[in-house]
Structure 1
C-alpha cells in the first residue's frame, strides 16, 4: 500500500508538472529591425533555437520557473535576460546592439554557416549596394571590379565582363546567384554573367580556392550575388524605382522592385530594362557592334515558421547584344560591316553609315541570350542543428547570328539545361566545434539546335561531391578547415557535321549522311578530385588580426578545353581542345594582417598559388610562324597545359580621421604575377612564354570623399568624391605567337556627388547619384580588353591598333523608395 501511495503521488506530481508546461516566444530586433539567425538559449535547460527571417523565435514545453535567456549572434553584442515563466504563453522581445560593421560584418559565402568576417581565415571581401550605387557600372561585374581589390575582368565591350580573381578566370571563378551556382555557357570569351545588376543588394567575394564547399570550378574563388529585398513592413507594399542614364553610349536603365509581407509570408517582384547604343572613345569614335538591349524579371515567395523557412524564386534574363569584329577601312580607320557570306573579304567591306552608329536598333549580327532560373532554398531546424536544402533548375539559351545574307539563321544555337542540388547539415555543436557535412553537385545537358557552327559537342555532365567542414575557437584563435571528395563524369556521342545543300552552311547530320564529317568523336571520362583547407585567425586584440590559410583546390577541364573543335561566331575564334587534359589542382597559401585603428583600417594580404596541369589559350601558328586560319576572318586558338605559379599581394589603407569625421581617404593596391612553368616551352621561346595570359598589371585605386554629417536643407548627408584608377605598364604578358602584346599604363580620374533628398519631416523622397568616369577622356586599352586584339592590318595610318576602351562617361542615377 505504501508503494502504491508513493507511485500515485509521483504520477500526480508528473501530471501537474506536465500541465504547467508553457510556451516561451518573442521577437528579436536590432535597431528595431527584425533580425534572423540569432541564437536564443535557455541556459538552465540547455535548450536553444534560432530566430527566423522575421526575427521570431519559439519554445514549447518549458516548465514554469525562472530562467536566464541568452541572445547571441554574429555582428551583435550578447544579451542575457532573467525571466519568470508562469503562464500558458510568455512573451520576451529583445533589441540587440550591432557591433562595428568593419569588425563584425557577417558573410555566408565559402563558410558552413553565417560567420563573422573576422573569424574566416580565407580572404573574403564584401561589396554593399551603397558602394555599387555610387559608381558608374554597365554591368554587375564591373561594379565588383571597382570595389574589390584583386578582382579584374576580361571584357568584350561594355556589357560583357568575365570575372578574374588574382589572375585566374573562366571556369575557375564560380559565380552564385543567391547561393545557386550560375550555369550559362561560361566557357566563351564573350559569354558574360546573366544577372540583373539592379536586383543585387550585396556581393561576397572569396579570394582563393573554395572547392571545399562548392567543388569543381571554384579554384580561384567565388562571387556570390545576393538579391536585394526592401525592408519589409507587415501589411504594407514596399519597394523602389531605379532609373539610370549614361552619356557615353546613351545607356538608359529602369528597374522597379516591390515587396509585401503578410504574417509569415514575404513576396518580392522586380522588373528591369536597359538599352544602349554603341560606346565611344576619341580614337575610334563610336565603336560599331557594341549596342545592347537587356530585360530582367525576378519574383520570390518565402514563408517563415518555427520549423525554419522555405523560399521559392524564379528569374528571367533576356539580352540582345551586338557582335563586334573590328573590321575597318584601311585608310580612314572607319568601321566596316560584313554584308556577304560567300566571297566576304574582311579588308574590303562597306563602311558603316554614320546614322547606324548611334542608333538603339540592334544590328542583324548579334547575340540573343536567355536565361531561366527556378529554385527553392529551405532550412529545417532540429533543436541545436539544422538542414539546409537548395534545389534549382536553369536553362541557358544562346543564339549568335553571324550570317548577313540570312540574318534569321543562327551560327551558334545551344541550349544548356542544368539541375543543381545542395544539401548541408549543420551538426549540433560538440565541445565548441561547429561542423557541417554536405553533398552537392549538378546534372547538365547541352544541345545544339538549328545552327551552322559547332564549337563544342552535345554533352552530358554529372557532378557529385561530399565534404566535411568544422571550426572552433581556442581563446584568441579561430581555426577552421575541412576535406572534400569530388567526381565528375562528362560524355558525348559521335557528332557529325555536313553541308546544307540549299544554304551552303554547315549543319548537324547523322552518321549515315553522305559527306558527313565526324567533328566530335564520342568521349566519356571521369574526373576525380580531393580538396581541402586549413586556416586560422589569431585575434591579437579586438582591432588587430593575423590570418593564415592553406588550401588545395580542384577543377575538372571544361567542355571547350577538352572538346572544342570549331568556330565560336561571337568570339571570332576557332577553338581547338585536347581530350587528354588532366584536372587542375592548386595549392595556395594566404597570409593576411588586418588592423582596425582609431583613424584607419589597414589590410595586407599575400598569396602564393602553385597550379598543376594549368590550362590556357595560345594562338596557333604554322611552321613559319604565320597565324593558322581555319575560318577566314577569325583567329585560331589551341589550348595548352603546363605547371603555373601565381603570386602577389593586395593592400588597402582606408583613412577616416575621427577629428575630421566628414573626410575619408580610401586606397587600395593589387599586384599579381603569373608564371608559365612549362620548361620545354621556356627553353625554346624564352621570355615570350615566361608569363601566363590574362594577368592584370599593378593597379592602384584612391578615393577622397567628403560627406556632410548633418542635413543641409533638403540634402541628407550629401557627399562629394574624387577618385583615381592607376594601371601600370603590363610588360609581363604571354607573347608567344602574338597571343598578347605589351599594354601601356594609364590613369583614369573620376568624380561624383550624391545625396538623399528628404522632406521637411525627414521623409526620404529619393536618392540621387551623379558620377563622371574618365573625366579627361583618356584614350587607353586594358590588357584584359579582348577588343584590343581585333585588328586585321599590320600597320595603320594613325599608329593605333585594335579597339580602345570607353571614353568619358557621365552617369545620372535616381532611386525612389516606395
Structure 2
C-alpha cells in the first residue's frame, strides 16, 4: 500500500511539473550577440540574463500567455507576447535597437530620485565600466579625467590624484561611493581617493553645485563611483580575474571579483592588490619615494522584493604610499635621502639614493599608511505610489605619516577620523504632475590624534544636518526642476597642548592637568555655520535628439578643518599650514547653459558656466616683509589660508563624429577651459598681476581620439578595437604668482594609443578574455603639469641641466587582461 501511495505521489508530481513550459532564445543587437541582457516575465517575477553569446533559458513556466520584456543598458526595451504550452519549449529570438541617444540613460547622482539624463538641467556625465576599463590607469580618478571634460586633478605621483571640477577641488568636490559620501581627510593633497579602481562599474559626474541634495562640500560638483555587480544566471558563480602591468613604474595590479545570484538575492565580492616602484622620466630618471603598495577588499549583499530593496556593503582599503621630498645632489641632480632628524639633517648634503633602491618594490621607512574602513546600508521602501529611501554608513580613516629616519616606527602624523553618514528621503506620490522629494541628511564626525610628533589639526567633533525640498514638473517639451535646502554645521574642539617627549625630543600631545612647559597649539573653538542653497533649472526638448538646458544654483560650503584650525606641519605634504578661525562659509552663484545634440552621425555637447563665489578660501605661500619665504620647520614650506571674493568661468565642448556609413570608425574631440579670477581688490591694488588669478586652475585642455571598432570575428579574435589620441594642454599664464605660490607652466601634448580585443576561452563556454594594450606619452615627452605638486619640490635656485622641480611620468606601456567566467 505504501509503495502504491508513493508511486501515486510521484506520478502526480511528475504530471504537475510536466505541465510547465520552457522559454529560450537568442538576443542580439546590430547582428551581434548581446551579453547580459535582462529577460523577465511580467507578473511572475521570473527572469534571467543572457550569457556571453546572447542565449537565455527560463524553465518551469506555468502555461499561459505572458508579456516577455527584453532590456539592456543603451538599448530600447522590447516587450513581446508569448504563449507557453504544456511541456513544449518556446523559442523566441529578439533583436534590440540602440537608443536614439544617451539622453534616455537613467542617473542617480545629484537628483532626488532616479531620473533620465535628458530631463535633468544640471550638467552630468556618465562613464560606463567599458569606458573605464579601456583607459588603463594607476587610479580611478585618472580614468575619469580622460573621459570627462572639465575634470582635472592635483597629483603627487602616479597613485595620488585629487579631483578638481572646473577649477575647484579638495572639500568642494564631493566623492561618493555607492551614494555614501567619502570621508578620509580629503583636505590633504598627498593621498588619493580610498576606492578600489577595479571594482567600479559606473561613474557619474555632476559639474556644478550639488549642495541641494548633498549639503556642504558639493559646491563644485559630485563624483559618484558605483560598484560593479556582475550579473548572471541563478545559482551560478560568476566573476572576473584582472591582471595589470605598467612598464614605467613596474606597477602590478591583480583583482578577483565574484558574484552569485539566487532568487531575489545578489552577492558580490572583490579583492585587489597593487604594487609599484618609483616612476621615471627622461629628466629626473627614477623619482625617489614614489612607489606604493595597496590592498582592497569589498563585499555587497542585496535583496529585491515587492516592497523595494535593501543592500549592505563593506570595504577595506590599505595603502602604503612613499613620501617624496625632492632632495638632490646639486651637480649630478641624483636624488638623495634623509637619514638624520630635522635638527641634524642638512637637506643639501644627504647621501645619494642607489639604483637598486629606485627599482625596489620595498616601501621605504619614510612613507604614509592610509587605512579606510566602511560599512553601509541603503534601502528603498515602496509606499503606495511613493517611496522612502534611506542610507546609513560608518567610516573610519586611519592616516599615519612616518617621517623619522632614526626611529622609522614613530609616526609624525597619526590621526583617526570616524564618520557616521545618514540620509532619509521621501519621494511623494505625483500630485498634479509634480514629483516632490523631501529629505534630511548629514554626518557626525570625530577626529583624534594618536601617538604622533606633529599635529597640523586639532582633535575636533563635527555634526552636519541639512533638510531639503525638491520638485520637478513637465510641461510638454519643457522639464522644470528645482528646490531649496538649509544646512547647519556645528564644530568644536577643546584646548590642545603640545609638549616635548623627554626621551625622544619629539613633540607629543599633552593633556590637562600636566601641561607645564607645553604650548597651547590649538585654543578651544566652537562655532555654528549655516547656509541656504538652492537651484532652479529647465530642459527644453527640441526633439528626441536635441536639448537646451539652463540652470542657476546657489551653493554652500562650510570651511574645512585645515582652513579654520590648522597650525602645524603636515609631514606628507612638506607644508606647514596656518588656518584662520574667523573664516565664513563659502557661497556660490553659478549659471549653467548647455546645448546637447545626439545626431545619427555626431554628438555635440556645448556647456558654458559662470560662477561667482563669496568668501572663497585658498592657499598662499607665506613670505616675510623682505619677500623671503617664512620657514617655520626647516625643509618645509609655509602656507597661510586666505579668503576673498572670486569668479570662475569657462566652457566645455565635445564633438564626437561617428558616421553611420562607417559604423566602425569614430573621432572624439573635446576642449575645456576655465579661468579663475581673484577678486581680493586690496591685494590686487598692492601687488598687481601677481595676485590677479586663483591658484590651482588648469589651463586650456584639448583631447582628440580616433577610434576603430571592428565588427565580427577574426579567427579567435573578436571585438577588435584600437585608438590613437592626442592630449594637449596650453601654457598656463594665468596663475597665482604672489610669493611664488605658483609659477608659469609650459604647455605640452601627449600622444597615446590603445588596442583591445576579446578571445573566447576554449574549455568554458561562458568564459572569455579581454586584452588591453595601452601606450601613454609614446614620445616620452618631458613635461610638468601645472597641478602637479612635485613641480615645486626644489631646493636650489638653479640647476645644471636647466630643469627645476620634478617632472611627470615618462613613456608608459601597460597591459591588462580580464578573464570573465
Q: How does 1:270-309 map to 2 (within 5 A)?
A: 270-309=270-309
CA–CA distance in 2 between the matches of 1:50 and 1:612?
Answer: 53
Counterpart for residue 320 of structure 2: 320
1:102 correspondence with 2:105: no
Shift in Å, 1:785: 0.1
Deviations 1:398-430 (A, max 9, x none): 000000000000000000000000111111111
Q: Aligned residue for 1:536?
A: 538
8 A contact 2:48–2:234 mirrored in 1: no
Could you say what secondary structure the match of 1:144 adopts? Answer: helix
Q: Alpha-carbon deviation of 1:266?
A: 1.1
C-alpha separation between the residues in 2 aligned to 1:279 and 1:415?
Answer: 30
CA separation in 2, counterparts of 1:51 and 1:459?
A: 52
Paired positions, count: 766
Question: Residues 535 and 511 of structure 1: is their aligned pair in 2 closer, same or farther, counting only changes over 3 Å?
Answer: same
Q: Give runs of aligned pairs for residues 97-246 of structure 1, distance below 5 A.
A: 99-246=99-246
1:769 aligns with 2:772: yes
Bigger mean CA offset, 671-680 vs 344-353? 344-353
Structure 1 residues 687 and 770, CA gap change in structure 2 (3 angstroms): same
- Map of 1:464-483 to 2, 5 A cutoff? 464-483=465-484
Are the structure 2 counterparts of residues 157 and 411 from structure 1 closer, same or farther at C-alpha, using a change threshold of 3 Å?
same
Alignment partners' CA distance in 1, 2:41 and 2:454: 56
Offset at residue 34 of structure 1 (A): 7.1
Aligned residue among 618, 623, 626 for 2:625:
623
Q: Is the 8 A contact 1:235 1:260 kept in 2?
A: yes
Which of 769, 784, 789 is matched with 2:787 structurally?
784
The reply to whether residue 815 of structure 1 matches residue 818 of structure 2 is yes
In the alignment, structure 1 residue 793 sits paired with structure 2 residue 796: yes
For 2:345 and 2:280, how far apart are their aligned partners in 1? 27
Question: 2:330 and 2:168 mapped to 1: Cα distance?
Answer: 36
Change (3 A) 1:404 1:751: same
For the 8 Å contact 2:49–2:231, the answer to whether it is kept is no
1:71/1:746 CA distance change after superposition, 3 Å: closer
Cα distance, 1:103 vs. partner?
2.9
Distance 1:757 1:94 in 2: 25
* 2:423 matched residue in structure 1: 422
C-alpha distance in 1 between matches for 2:757 and 2:248 = 23
CA distance in 2, matches of 1:684, 1:670: 32
Cα deviation, 1:195-228, whole Å, max 9, x if unaligned, reads 0000001110000000000000000000000001
SS of the residue corresponding to residue 710 of structure 1 reads: strand
672 and 653 in structure 1: CA distance in 2 versus 1, 3 angstrom threshold: same
Asked if the contact 1:331–1:797 (Cα under 8 Å) also holds between the matched residues in 2, the reply is: yes
Measure, in 1, the Cα distance between the counterparts of 2:155 and 2:200: 21
Structure 1 residue 600 corresponds to structure 2 residue 602: yes
SS of corresponding position for 2:685: helix
For 1:430-455, what per-residue CA distance to the aligned partner results, in whole angstroms no more than 9, with x for missing partners? 11111111110000000000000000
Q: CA deviation at 1:50?
A: 11
2:436 maps to which residue? 435
**Alpha-carbon contact 2:100-2:598 (below 8 Å) kept:** no
SS at the partner of 1:598? coil
State how far apart, in whole Å, the 2-side matches of 1:414 and 1:266 are: 36
Secondary structure in structure 1 of the residue aligned to 2:144: helix
Which secondary structure state, in structure 1, belongs to the residue aligned with residue 713 of structure 2?
coil
Which of 742, 745, 752 is matched with 2:744 structurally? 742
Gap change, CA 1:779 and 1:705, over 3 Å in 2: same
Q: How has the CA–CA distance of structure 1 residues 482 and 98 changed in structure 2, closer, same or farther, with 3 Å as cutoff?
A: farther
Decide whether the 8 Å contact of 1:74 with 1:114 is kept in 2: no
Q: Distance in 2 between matches of 1:524 and 1:760?
A: 66
8 Å CA contact 1:756, 1:764 repeated in 2: no
CA distance in 2, matches of 1:53, 1:732: 56
SS in 1 for 2:132: helix
How big is the shift at 1:804?
Answer: 0.1
How far is 1:169 from its partner? 0.2
Q: Deviations over 1:152-187 (max 9, x none)?
A: 000001111000000000000000000000000111
Gaps of 5+ in 1: 1-25, 43-48, 56-65, 85-92
2:427–2:436 contact (8 Å) kept in structure 1: yes
Distance 1:714 1:223 in 2: 38
Matched-pair contact (CA < 8 Å) for 1:52–1:304: no
- Equivalent runs, 1:656-671 vs 2, <5 Å: 656-671=658-673
Deviation of the 1:229 alpha carbon = 1.2
Q: Secondary structure at the match of 2:483?
A: strand
Q: Structure 1 stretch 733-742 or stretch 112-121: which is displaced more? A: 112-121
- Give 1:348-427 correspondences, 5 Å limit: 348-427=349-428
Task: Supply the distance in 1 between the matched residues of 2:382 and 2:38 (Cα, whole angstroms).
Answer: 17
- Aligned-pair CA distance for 1:70: 12
Alignment of 1:661-740 (within 5 A): 661-740=663-742
1:310 corresponds to which residue?
310
- 1:534 is paired with a residue whose SS is strand
Query: What CA distance in whole angstroms lies between the structure 1 residues aligned with 2:592 and 2:349?
Result: 53
Alpha-carbon distance in 2 for matches of 1:406, 1:33? 55
With normalisation by structure 1, the TM-score equals 0.90
CA contact 2:41–2:66 (8 Å) conserved in 1 = no
Partner of 2:256: 256
**SS at 1:189 equivalent:** coil
How far apart in 2 are the matches of 1:35 and 1:716? 23
Alpha-carbon offset, residue 136 of structure 1: 2.7
Q: CA deviation at 1:759?
A: 5.6
Structure 2 residue corresponding to 1:549, chosen from 543, 548, 551:
551
Deviations 1:670-710 (A, max 9, x none): 00000000000000011000000000000000000111121
2:522 to 520, 523, 526: 520
Cα distance in 2, alignment partners of residues 265 and 208 from structure 1: 36
Cα offset, 1:470, TM superposition: 1.1
Return 213-222 or 261-270, whichever deviates more. 261-270
Q: Does 1:613 align with 2:615?
A: yes
Maintained 8 Å contact 1:136/1:773: no
User: 1:651 aligns to what SS in structure 2?
Assistant: strand
Provide closer, same or farther for how the CA distance between residues 74 and 265 of structure 1 changes in structure 2, counting only shifts above 3 A.
closer
Relative to 1, partners in 2 of residues 1:290 and 1:72: Cα closer, same or farther, differing over 3 Å? closer
Q: CA deviation at 1:51?
A: 11
Residues 236-273 of structure 1: CA deviation (Å, up to 9, x unaligned): 00000000000000000000000011112111110000
- Number of the residue aligned with 1:510: 511
* Maintained 8 Å contact 2:466/2:488: yes
Cα distance in 2 for partners of 1:464, 1:52 equals 41
Q: Secondary structure at the match of 2:349?
A: coil
C-alpha distance 286-173 of structure 1, shift in aligned 2 (>3 A): same
Give how far 1:284 is off.
0.2
SS at 2:690's partner residue? helix
Deviation of 1:189 after TM superposition, in Å, equals: 1.6
- Name the counterpart of 1:5: none
Q: How far, CA to CA, are the matches of 1:568 and 1:78 in structure 2?
A: 54
Q: Distance in 1 between matches of 2:318 and 2:369?
A: 7
Q: C-alpha distance in 2, partners of 1:429/1:83? A: 33
1:53/1:304 contact within 8 Å kept = no
TM superposition shift of 1:127: 1.0
Deviations 1:570-592 (A, max 9, x none): 00000000000000000000001
- Paired with 2:570 and 2:443, the residues of 1 have a C-alpha distance of 25
Q: Identify which range, 127-136 or 275-284, moves more after superposition.
A: 127-136
* 3-state SS of 1:400 partner: strand
Q: Partners of 1:624 and 1:301 in 2: how far apart? A: 62
